[in-house]
Structure 1
Amino acid sequence: MTLSIAKSIMAKAISGWRQVGQRAGLAVAGLALGTHAASAQTPMYYLETFGPKGEITASLTWGLLAISVFVVVLMSVLVLVAIFRAKRLEPAELGSKLPVSHPGGGHRWIYLGLALTTAALIVMVVWTMEVLAEIDEPAVEPAFTIEVTGEQWWWEARYVDPDDPSRTFVTANELHIPVGEPVRIRLASADVIHSFWVPALAGKTDVIPGQINETWLQADRKGVYRGQCAEYCGVQHAHMAMRVFADPAEEFRSWWEHQLEPADTIPEDDELLRVGQEQFVLKCGACHAVRGTLAGGEAGPDLTHFMDRTTIAAVTLPNTPGHLSGWIADPQHQKPGNKMPNLDLSGPELNAIRHYLETLD
């Protein structure tokens, strides 16, 4: 009962802080983006969220922030009061002894401070434990699982249909989830420790080699939510991002069905496309897969529906012809240290491979 009353009072106290903070954050984001468009697309903003898991966590964040600000302000005021109300002592003569005194009333402040601090800490600890228990599992069982593997420096995503294994497929870096439905995320690492974080939807979950960790996502509004590796994992850690697309149910089902399809067959009369596919299989097929072709590599992302993605190199570059050509020609210049080698392609080879990739939609 006491905790409920304390949380109720605290919720009312921080509601104004939350509104001010959200408006300030969105204003800054709007200035940075040149628009006040859907705040769901604001990069890495975690004080306003768009799903049940994020909402619970954000409320705790605002509560702890309000308590912290209150404590800082209170301590500052008390220090200033002590400074200006302190009795001025006459300067002592050199070698003289100062009498020891115990002014009355001082211990009351100590006892009061200890009592208030203890009460606040108890409320914060219990509230935090309640939130952790509440976000552990979604309200309903997720309909499917996405097995996400962190690699230096990109994310592999395997969509698993629990009822039909043949409807499983692999993509990378850009996840799609249905609006209003929880999705289970099963996390593994292929190399070092990473951290899976989509701040507008949920908190961080570590991705640890040799261990499977689980979390879940749910977005209650259509939009694009940026995610990021939140654990330093090497030289390109900052460029290990992702995008989560929350689609209406029908659009999501259509997207899933499309992902199950193999790559389109090459028309016999398109010589440039045929050469591009041959060069891709020869130069890139040992690392990348394109279903329906001889390219079956697993070291890099599956590129079967490459043009469905809005970015390349784990959200480092937009997926445009110019950036794609630059990435194929010299990936080490674009993202130094990544595992994609420079292939020393000739101009015609580069043009043919890029042309072929642009047909993988």
Structure 2
Amino acid sequence: MQTDGPLHHDADLARVLDGWPPPVLDPAGPYSEPITVLAWALLIGGTLVLALVLVALGVALFGSGRTKARLGGEKAIWIFGVACPVVVLTGLLVWGLTLTSHLSAGLPTGKEMRVRVIGEMWWWRVHYLDAVGRETVRDANELHIPTGIPVLLELQSADVIHSFWVPRLGGKMDMVPGRTNRLLIQADRPGIYKGQCAEYCGGPHALMGFIVIAHDPADFARWRASRRPAPIAGDLVARGARLFDTVGCAACHTVRGTPADGMAGPDLTHVGSRGTIGAGILPNNAGTLAGWIADSQAIKPGNRMPPYRQLSADDLRALTAYMASRR
């Protein structure tokens, strides 16, 4: 099920996550609609070809001798075996290329919003760029975009081949180590759109998801302006901040505005404001955060975060409070 509208709280995200995997024939933007039209044309055409073959098979098995002779004659072979495939496939090729010609993304033109997405085992780095390609905001595992504006994604991989795919917003594109591939997506209306890695990349590949949150332009401007490191407030949160440094979290994660500058894991500067955790597989709330910190391997086996079963209940509560405060 897809939630449309500027919604971003637990109930809405739960409905979205319950509908995993993403729907693939329900376009919500100009870069996904041609793909859906082409998919339906291929499905209907394939069904008609199958029906024709079944009819021919029925004639061959149960038809009269004269009908069989005509079906297997030279004229029928030239018409149905040569002429029809050439005409149909050539027409389909030309029509398909024409239909999808505008989906290819070249170099930035300055009219698009630019985002660099880097696939890693088994999550996503998200870097928002300005018009000249300078990084302005870092995030992970979710992408925020304004409606009605093309978004140029610069897709890269830090390890193996991944594939970025948001079915309702555009086609899929491989993320190849050492290359930058480009993909255009666009949402016509606010909503939460599901995405998935579409290339097997080992381990918990099936749990390498993400969400795209489309805002109307005014809401998106407010979201982007809010991307400043949050201050630490409250004794429990302060205790969690100290634990973050002492138990080893800071070795893998960055929290801007603090000494934590690890690069192995997702940037956690604004983790409390994200809709999901674990690369799109769970809604983000106190319970799921605590479970992920304590034993992420039980939730997503094979991911690269070690379990922290040694934490006491009080320590876990403090760390969870600190993460939730990072908005």
TM-score, normalisation: structure 1:
0.79
Tell me the equivalent position of 1:80: 58
TM alignment of 1:164-313, pairs within 5 A: 165=134, 168-259=136-227, 261-264=228-231, 266-267=232-233, 270-283=234-247, 284-313=249-278
In 2, the alpha carbon distance for the partners of 1:158 and 1:308 equals 16
1:203: Cα distance to partner?
A: 1.1
Aligned residues: 309
Aligned mates of 2:206, 2:133 — CA distance in 1: 37
**For residue 177 of structure 2, what is the amino acid of its counterpart?**
P
Give the stretch that moved more between structures: 300-309 or 240-249: 300-309
* Contact in 2 for aligned 1:240/1:314 (Cα 8 Å): yes
Partner of 1:159: 128
1:128 and 2:96 are equivalent in the alignment: yes
Using the TM superposition, give the Cα deviation of residue 164 of structure 1 relative to its aligned residue in structure 2, in angstroms: 8.8
Whole-Å separation in 2 of the counterparts to 1:152 and 1:242? 13
CA distance in 2, matches of 1:295, 1:68: 55
Q: Per-residue displacement from partner, 1:304-350 (whole Å, max 9, x unpaired)?
A: 11121111100122212111111101111111111111232222221
Residue matched to 1:315: 280
Query: Does the CA-based 8 Å contact 2:105-2:182 persist in structure 1?
Result: no
Residue of structure 1 in register with 2:77 after alignment: 110
Aligned with 1:52: secondary structure?
A: coil
The whole-number CA distance in structure 1 between the counterparts of 2:105 and 2:302 is 38
Task: Compare relative contact order (CA 8 Å, sep 6+) and give the higher one, 1 or 2.
Answer: 2
Partner of 2:113: 144
Inter-CA distance 164–127: structure 2 relative to 1 (3 Å threshold)? closer
Corresponding residue for residue 9 of structure 2: none
Q: Aligned partners of 1:105 and 1:244: how far apart in 2?
A: 55
Mapped contact 2:211–2:280 kept (Cα < 8 A): yes
- Shift, 1:230, TM fit: 0.4
| Distance verdict in 2 for CA 1:203–1:103, change over 3 Å | closer
Change (3 A) 1:358 1:103: closer
* 1:166-194 Cα deviation digits (max 9, x unpaired): x7010011101110100100011011000
Give the CA deviation at 1:204: 1.0
Deviation at 1:47, TM superposition (A): 1.5
Selected match of 1:335 from 284, 300, 307: 300
1-side partners of 2:111 and 2:200: how far apart? 30
Q: Which residue number corresponds to residue 70 of structure 1?
A: 48
Please state how far the C-alpha of 1:42 moved relative to its aligned partner: 7.7
Aligned-residue offset at 1:140: 7.4
Cα deviation, 1:82-140, whole Å, max 9, x if unaligned, reads 3222339xxxxxxxxxxxxx879711211110211111110122123223422114997
Flag the 1:164–1:263 CA change in 2: closer, same or farther, 3 A: farther
If the length of structure 2 is used for normalisation, what is the TM-score? Answer: 0.87
What RMSD in Å do the two structures reach over aligned CA positions? 2.6
Q: Is the Cα contact below 8 Å between 2:126 and 2:139 reproduced in 1?
A: yes
